[in-house]
Amino acid sequence: LDYLLEQMWRYMGLIRIYTKRRGAPPDLEEPVVLSTERQGGLTVEAAARHISRELLTIFSYGMVWGTSVKFSPQRVGLHHVLDDEDVVQIVT
């Protein structure tokens, strides 16, 4: 059943991104779901826009933990492409 669910997510072009506040553990209960079909795609910019449009105006950089980065955590910009189940912290 888990395999089927994973294949459905992949087929629909959806990924789950988890958010993290500074000094706190990541929130693994409620992911931000991003789609390749939506404007912005699978980037840090799309994740920030999904949370709040105001974040884009005060965005300094993002910290990412997961498979989309070489080092964990790694400092990234708005155009960094995220992978499924990455953890993102947006620094303002």
pLDDT in tens, 1-45: 889 988 888 888 899 999 999 999 999 999 998 887 776 678 999
CA dist 12 and 5 (Å) reads 11
CA dist 58 and 73 (Å) reads 21
CB 89 within 8 A of CB 22: yes
User: pTM for the complete prediction?
Assistant: 0.88
pLDDT in tens, 43-92: 999 999 989 989 999 999 999 999 999 999 999 999 999 999 999 999 99
- Written as six digits, the tokens of 76 are 């990234």
CA dist 22 and 89 (Å) reads 7
pLDDT at 39: 64
